[in-house]
Amino acid sequence: MKTPERTETPEKTTPVGTRERIVRATSRLLQRQGYEGTGIKQISREAEATLGSVYHFFPGGKQELAAEAIRHGDEEFAVLLRAGLGSSADIGEAVVTCTGMLARELRASDWQDGCPISSTALETVGRAPAIEQAVAAAFANWRAIVTEHLVAAGIGAEDARELAGTVVSTLEGAELAAQIARSEEPLLVTGKHLARLLATYR
Amino acid sequence: MKTPERTETPEKTTPVGTRERIVRATSRLLQRQGYEGTGIKQISREAEATLGSVYHFFPGGKQELAAEAIRHGDEEFAVLLRAGLGSSADIGEAVVTCTGMLARELRASDWQDGCPISSTALETVGRAPAIEQAVAAAFANWRAIVTEHLVAAGIGAEDARELAGTVVSTLEGAELAAQIARSEEPLLVTGKHLARLLATYR
DNA sequence: CCTCCGCTAGAACGAACGCTCTATCCAGAA
DNA sequence: TTCTGGATAGAGCGTTCGTTCTAGCGGAGG
């Protein structure tokens, strides 16, 4: 059988295939420990898969696996972003909602689960092309989502493009600060300031 | 002799002591490769010191060495921050100057040398107390510097405190975005937006 | 029935890891 | 001169790293 699950009814608690389990485990471990701090054997253990399975699905080794995990984290964060930004007609309020959601999730994980890709992104700058490309695509994806909502809120196209970049990178920075301070405050305050900045446009 | 250099005339090109060379090399390597990605032997090689010397000066091992390197990076970034923020009476212009300086240095290092501590900070969250503490102290130091300049620019104490946190974390996020995009734009645009935000206070 | 093959399983490889340990060097005190 | 102790030097410890490789499993097609 090619892929025993997922082809039929995606309802109920779908039994997760081995490949999917490996990607999810890798994503969470990279988020918490970074690229160099995460071993393939730890991943296979955590995913309840064997080393053979890991290299079967990802013959490109650790780098290919990490790139796939980055794409997983990309979509994960995009879902949160869309949910938060779609929560209110007022774009300022919507951004505040986003920071609130991030803060809540961060606290719930005991300040462990920050941005799913920033740690890996930072330590592979200029030395792991496949990963760098996945990271750049994730940022571009997030910027596009934010841009869309800003334009919908009546902000001009060029202003929206620039602001979207700032919003995304500011969320990254605030999440880092919140992790370090073990406090929701940096995220919440940043949300307030972003809303204030957006209010000066239109 | 206790410390052969630095006790006398700090003029001319001071011959750098072994301990100092080790700290500098560690700081640069941590900045570029993160904590787990940097080996003690690589540090000793890069610092032109031997393994024996490293453990002589840092009996606490890798963690103690990293904490010291974080403190080095702390002061390094603080110097840039003070220079940038002191460059203009207009606090908005001063922030723009900061982002410009960061952008120039980042480009000059071929997008390698971002924030000297963020990579290490992210991968040691909740698992290396000595490092976490040094990181938290660095952020507090930077916030204090920014707060001071904001207050001097006529912004109320509480607003200044909150804004300082946002300014610092936003610079972090923008630097990350600039490294990933291999472009000065995220930093420069963020500078513009920060100035605009600050202009809404007084 | 047997064959095929996607997938699972884990032993084994050389290299690198952080760290310990002993030995040596050498400027200044006695 | 001998002694002393900070500093240098690097071999070697046990462990873990990423990766390779061969062997076995079990359902589908002939």
In this prediction, residue B13 carries a pLDDT of 53
Higher pLDDT, B2 or A81: A81
Residue B126 tokens read as: 């909740």
In this prediction, residues A72-89 reach a mean pLDDT of 98
Which nucleotide is nearest, taking the CA of residue A55 and each C1'? D19
Query: Cβ separation of A125 and B180 shorter than 8 Å?
Result: yes
Write out chain A residues lying below 8 Å of B200, CB-based: 196-197, 200
In this prediction, residue A202 carries a pLDDT of 75
Nearest to B169 among A119, A132, A186 (CB): A186
> What are B153-162's pLDDT values in tens digits?
999 999 999 9
Tell me the pLDDT band of B163, cut-offs 50, 70 and 90. very high
Place of tokens 């405050």: A185
Residue B10 has pLDDT above 80, yes or no: no
Domains of chain B: 67-199 (1.10.357.10)
Tell me the pLDDT band of B75, cut-offs 50, 70 and 90. very high
Percent of chain A with pLDDT over 70: 93
Query: Cβ separation of B180 and A112 shorter than 8 Å?
Result: no
B174 contacts A136 by C-beta, under 8 angstroms: no
In this prediction, residue A33 carries a pLDDT of 97
In this prediction, residue A2 carries a pLDDT of 36
Query: Cβ separation of B34 and A122 shorter than 8 Å?
Result: yes
Residue A11 has pLDDT above 70, yes or no: no
Q: Which of A125, A98, A124, A102 is closest to A113 using CA atoms? A: A102
Please give the Cα distance from B122 to B35 (Å, whole number).
9
Detail the DSSP E strand segments found in chain A: none
The average confidence (pLDDT) of chain B is 93
Which nucleotide is nearest, taking the CA of residue A57 and each C1'? C7
> What are A128-169's pLDDT values in tens digits?
999 999 999 999 999 999 999 999 999 999 999 999 999 999
Residue B149 has pLDDT above 80, yes or no: yes
CA-to-CA dists, residue B4 to B10, B26, B38, angstroms? 12, 22, 29
Percent of chain A with pLDDT over 90: 92
ipTM value of the model?
0.91
> What are A111-133's pLDDT values in tens digits?
999 999 999 999 999 999 999 99
Please give the Cα distance from B202 to B194 (Å, whole number).
14
Tell me the pLDDT band of B183, cut-offs 50, 70 and 90. very high
Place of tokens 């207009």: B90
